[in-house]
């Protein structure tokens, strides 16, 4: 796991927190959500604070039931941000959407990201699905270019100079490339060019990018300019693999009816950390250190 520009707070994930209770097989809240009653409810993380709007783009870059984990990761990430208060209108989701209702899915209409987890598919918007999940649409959405988008909801990141943007991608990767269900793929040079263009448009103040893919460090290492005010962590460096989580045969395996991985180690590590910590207080550097340790321990325990 690698990180660049390690500093600052976690502005997108705050206010949602839960922990797994193995004995009960469910999630128990540790921190009140913005909608829950109580003496000191958490403030909505998505509320415009001093003119700041928070945006998110989620991309599951694969298709097919064998890649169940990528769409499960993205759906889970969506639920975390929504529970944290981010408005649906400020979240754009790319996923092929061929998993929940797939004939091979043992729980039709349901997607889980943890062996004892709840459904993370319900309520996830279908902004760009099927043939609309393309690098071209992803770049257009990030740049806020509605006229360049083909199909889908037409939702784009219409951000302003003070705004914050979170990008999360999950799929397969290789040296300098990230997969997409429809070609062309996302190539490092093209992605960096778009990030430069977004910065030049003065349409954000801070950006966070989390990438789950093999060799994902190659997208940024030596390529990402230091003056774009972008913080990045990746599941692997430029030459490493990333790994699935909650796979058949692992110590933490999925329910018996599943013959596929439910998530990815890096992804479930940062999301489960986000659900067990008060992210109004935990910094990005602290989360990086926690996730890096969890990633290593997960691999050791799983015998990968």
**Catalytic-residue membership of 70:** no
Q: Which residues pair with 207 in a beta bridge?
A: 165, 230
**Cα distance between residue 141 and residue 247, in whole Å:** 33
Q: Which residues pair with 18 in a beta bridge?
A: 29
The single residue of 76, 172, 247, 277 carrying the catalytic annotation is 172
Q: Hey, is 263 helix, strand or coil?
A: strand
Owner of token pair 């999360």: 168
Q: What is the H or E stretch that residue 212 is in?
A: strand 206-212
139, 94 contact by CB (below 8 A):
no
42, 86 contact by CB (below 8 A):
no
The single residue of 75, 214, 247, 261 carrying the catalytic annotation is 214
Instruction: For residue 147, give the DSSP letter.
Output: G
DSSP 1-61: -EEES--SB-TTTTT-EEEEETTTTEEEEEE--TTS-SSSPPPPTTS-BTTB-EEEEEEE-
**Is the bond leading into 184 cis (omega within 30 degrees of zero)?**
yes
C-alpha torsion sign, points 233, 167, 66, 246: positive
**Cα distance between residue 55 and residue 163, in whole Å:** 8
260, 68 contact by CB (below 8 A):
yes
**Catalytic-residue membership of 172:** yes
Helix-, strand-, coil-residue percentages of the chain, each rounded to 5: 30, 20, 55
Which residues are catalytic, by number? 172, 214
């Amino acid at each position: 796991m690698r990180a660049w520009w390690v500093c600052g707070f976690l502005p997108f994930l705050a206010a949602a927190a839960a922990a797994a209770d193995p004995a009960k097989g469910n999630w128990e809240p540790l921190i009140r959500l913005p909608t829950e009653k109580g003496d000191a409810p958490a403030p909505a993380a998505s509320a415009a604070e001093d003119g700041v709007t928070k945006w998110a783009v989620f991309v599951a870059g694969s298709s097919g039931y064998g890649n169940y984990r990528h769409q499960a990761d993205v759906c889970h990430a969506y639920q975390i941000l929504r529970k944290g208060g981010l408005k649906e209108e400020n979240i754009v989701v790319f996923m092929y959407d061929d998993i929940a209702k797939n004939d091979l899915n043992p729980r039709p209409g349901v997607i889980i990201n943890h062996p004892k987890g709840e459904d993370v598919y319900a309520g996830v918007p279908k902004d760009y699905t099927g043939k609309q999940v393309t690098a071209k649409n992803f770049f257009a959405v990030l740049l806020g270019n509605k006229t360049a988008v083909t199909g889908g909801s037409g939702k784009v990141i219409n951000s302003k100079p003070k705004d914050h943007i979170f990008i999360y991608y999950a799929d397969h990767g290789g040296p300098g490339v990230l997969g997409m269900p429809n070609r062309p793929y996302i190539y490092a040079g093209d992605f960096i060019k778009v990030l430069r263009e977004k910065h030049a448009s003065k349409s954000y103040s801070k950006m966070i990018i989390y990438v789950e893919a093999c060799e994902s460090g190659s997208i940024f290492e030596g390529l990402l300019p230091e003056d774009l005010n972008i913080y990045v962590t990746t599941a692997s460096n430029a030459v490493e693999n990333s790994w699935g989580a909650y796979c058949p045969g692992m110590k933490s395996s999925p329910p018996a009816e599943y013959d596929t991985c439910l998530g990815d180690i890096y992804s479930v590590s940062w999301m489960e950390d986000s659900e067990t910590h008060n992210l109004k207080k935990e910094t990005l550097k602290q989360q990086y250190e926690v996730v890096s340790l969890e990633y290593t321990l997960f691999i050791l325990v799983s015998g990968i």
